[in-house]
Structure 1
Amino acid sequence: MYKRGICIILVCIMMTLTLSYGNEDLKSIQIGGESAIVMDVETGRVLYEKNIYKKLPMASTTKIITALLAIENISLDKKVKINAQAEGVEGSSIYLRAGEEVKAIDLIYGLMLRSGNDSATAIAYEISGSIEDFAELMNKRAKEIGAKNTNFVNPHGLHDDNHYTTAYDLGLITREALKNPVFKEVVRTKFWTADKDGYKHFANKNNILDICDGGDGVKTGYTRRSGRCLVASATRNDMQLIAITFNDYDWFNTTKMLLDESFNIYKPYTLFDEKQIITKTRVLDGKKKEVSLKPFKSSIIPMDKEEDKKLLTVIDMPKALHAPIEKGQRIGKMTTYLYGKIINTTYLIANESIEKQSLKDKIKDFFGIGQ
């Protein structure tokens, strides 16, 4: 084992920590919702907040995690036999019948586009065998994501006093879901025809897809107890942002305004490019004496016009490596801070493969042959 070295790249030396974390113009926006948040999908950075840790009912936005679990646990082409408990569930429905067989992907589209409570129930029974066991799985997955102030008791969001989340937690859950390409495609789809003759045609209820530039998701929710809840997303200039509002009568206009203002104030800032050589480290017993390191992927973060002066990136990597080394091998890690908070983490990988020296190579090295 080799000692690890800590190398610090100062994008800008941070002399003092700024107490505020976000743009003052955006922070000053007043909305009618009880709670709201704007979050960057790539980094999880919170750009706007109002009561983001307040526990509230979230109605059918619950179905975001139900859809994610369906995608993660059921083959999309599988024909799911509809459990009798899924037929006739109150509220919004795609009118499933007990015993019929429906492809999992169609259940997911019915869940997210038409907000089918029966679809949510069918998914729960298919994965876990009961509502209670599925709720346990939902809570387990939520905790893995980091949603610590959330509790699910059902897969659809019909009201229960013990069924709640926060704007921050729901942002984390949505961010995780949007990293899944199937989920991302489903929620931005405006119209879906199920794979069954004359069966179902699902039109998306989410008006954000039409009224917001770059609108691409995610989910509406409403009960009398929760009020109107909306998780909206949009992508512009390689940035995808999530806007959430709870108990907001003007839900679509609120989230559209928050997204528009956030995109106006925050611009994409390329922190690192995946082709960029960041640093090098020594290689022992290799045919080359050092290896170049680059980021695992490009990192684009939302920044206002002054914030690049407050960035600090720390590199954690070994001082030396043993050959052989494979191209793409994970070598170290870069952590970037803004206002003293982590805003981005990415791995450093080897830019090339380096073979181990043979005995002949070592002898040549010893005598300086070929140098």
Structure 2
Amino acid sequence: MRLFKRIFISTILIFSILVLPIELSEAKLNDSSNMPDLTAKSAAIYCNTTGEMVAQKNGDARANPYSITKLLTALIIIENHDLDDMVKVSKKASEQEGSSMELKEGEVVSVEELLYGLLILSGNDAAYALAEYDSDIHTFADKMNKKARKLGCTNTNFANPNGLKNKAHYTTANDFIKIANASLDNKLIKKITGTQEYEMRKTNKQEERTFETHLDQLKDENSGVISGKTGYWEDDDCTIALRFNKNNMVLTVVLLGDKKSERKNDENKAFSFAESAVKSVKALKEDQPVKKVWIKNGEHTRVQLYSRDDSIVYPKSGKKSSTKTKVALDKDIEAPLNSGDVVGKVKIYSDGKYMESVPLYVKDNIKEGWLPSMFYISNLGTICILISIILIINIIIIFKSNRKKQKIKNRHRK
């Protein structure tokens, strides 16, 4: 019996040692221990480059998404309707509270124009008008929920197309990452949410006007933010969904329950955290010798090319072996060339996917060569050839002269 107890206890201990670390490593992503200190009540950071969740904070906690709801509204409309269709704005749509594109009752606008008002000005009136154009508010909400489930959302429910506060309108950071990815991957949504200004044409009710984005980060070229949507209810309850692209790292970030004063800081913390957490590989270094190539009409016809910039990629394996390069040269490279002239590019691939192109340039000035350089023979090569020819001729002359002398000697001997 004692022997049996010892065996049982030993088995439990071994099982705990082997299994517990695995369970902890799998759980690491599902708590906030690997998340930067954010003010937002819940958040999720997803790396589109590697296709993995980088970190999340209270990722399954329910919260109102507010106006980032409009990303899903736009996606459903784009997938199911013609952008050139004209919509007559109803009284109910024109009376929507909160952020607005200032639609008038009876105004006739295109679906595409409503989408710009929806995503740039966060127009609650535009969202309502689009839902009415599609069907009606309740039917459209059902379509939103079906689409959300199709995208893999399990803890999300939408009650309206614009994100106005409603107890039955909620999502989670982990769920909304899926909606944000699907929406911001759409070409038109990506274009609109990355637009700083949009000129709205004159309609039957209004003169021409300019829409300016609510996403201030777009105005900062160094922010890395390329598209996104803000959400707001009050200063202490804001949301945002962003697409970030810098140094070949593409991220999607969702923040829920944030403070307006801290939202931008939270974004930057999330970006910085991902940049340090996701393992990078330097595919190319600035000024790295890449390839020697032949050039036409130069005093030198064999020239070393160098990469203009660094190239950083993020392969899933974290290994450089997952990264490949391919050189693409300009056609008919020929002298004269000046130091710094770009004559081609290096295409960078990570995990088989194209990432970017880095220019290739020459470091030295290459002057025009002599006539043989048109056949890719350098000046030095021409000199060597001429010397070789002269040497061969001299050898032949000496050989013939010696042979002639030998014949004369042979005659005298006879």
* Same topology, TM > 0.5: yes
Match of 1:256 among 251, 261, 268: 268
Which residue matches 1:119?
A: 126
C-alpha deviation, 1:77, in angstroms: 1.8
Query: Deviations 1:248-305 (Å, cap 9, x if unpaired)?
Result: 11112101221133124425679xxxxxxxxxxxxxxxxxxxxxxxxxxxxx98468x
C-alpha deviation, 1:126, in angstroms: 0.7
Return 5+ residue gaps in structure 1 as ranges. 1-15, 271-299, 312-343, 347-371
- Letter of the 2:209 partner, please give it: K
C-alpha deviation, 1:105, in angstroms: 1.1
Count of aligned positions: 268
Which one has a bigger Cα radius of gyration? 2
Matched, 1:206 2:215: yes
Question: For residues 54 and 185 of structure 1, do their structure 2 counterparts lie closer, same or farther at Cα, with a shift above 3 Å needed?
Answer: same
CA distance in 1, matches of 2:164, 2:25: 37
- Letter of the 1:220 partner, please give it: T
Alignment of 1:1-371 (within 5 A): 19-20=24-25, 27-42=34-49, 44-128=51-135, 130-196=136-202, 198-211=207-220, 213-224=223-234, 227-249=237-259, 250-267=262-279, 302=314, 307-308=318-319
C-alpha deviation, 1:26, in angstroms: 8.8
SS at match of 1:247: strand
Question: For residues 157 and 133 of structure 1, do their structure 2 counterparts lie closer, same or farther at Cα, with a shift above 3 Å needed?
Answer: same
Question: For residues 25 and 263 of structure 1, do their structure 2 counterparts lie closer, same or farther at Cα, with a shift above 3 Å needed?
Answer: farther
- Letter of the 1:126 partner, please give it: Y
For the Cα contact (< 8 Å) 1:103–1:195, is it kept in 2? Answer: no
CA distance in 2, matches of 1:126, 1:345: 42
SS at match of 2:176: helix
C-alpha deviation, 1:227, in angstroms: 0.5
For the Cα contact (< 8 Å) 2:247–2:313, is it kept in 1? Answer: no
What TM-score, normalized to structure 1? 0.65
CA distance in 1, matches of 2:33, 2:248: 20
CA distance in 2, matches of 1:168, 1:156: 20
C-alpha deviation, 1:139, in angstroms: 0.4
C-alpha deviation, 1:196, in angstroms: 2.8
For the Cα contact (< 8 Å) 1:40–1:302, is it kept in 2? Answer: no
Question: For residues 307 and 204 of structure 1, do their structure 2 counterparts lie closer, same or farther at Cα, with a shift above 3 Å needed?
Answer: same
SS at match of 1:177: helix
Question: For residues 179 and 28 of structure 1, do their structure 2 counterparts lie closer, same or farther at Cα, with a shift above 3 Å needed?
Answer: closer
Question: For residues 84 and 267 of structure 1, do their structure 2 counterparts lie closer, same or farther at Cα, with a shift above 3 Å needed?
Answer: farther
For the Cα contact (< 8 Å) 2:196–2:219, is it kept in 1? Answer: no
CA distance in 2, matches of 1:121, 1:138: 13
For the Cα contact (< 8 Å) 1:52–1:168, is it kept in 2? Answer: yes
SS at match of 2:105: coil
- Letter of the 1:234 partner, please give it: F
Question: For residues 74 and 195 of structure 1, do their structure 2 counterparts lie closer, same or farther at Cα, with a shift above 3 Å needed?
Answer: farther
Higher helix share: 2
SS at match of 1:240: strand
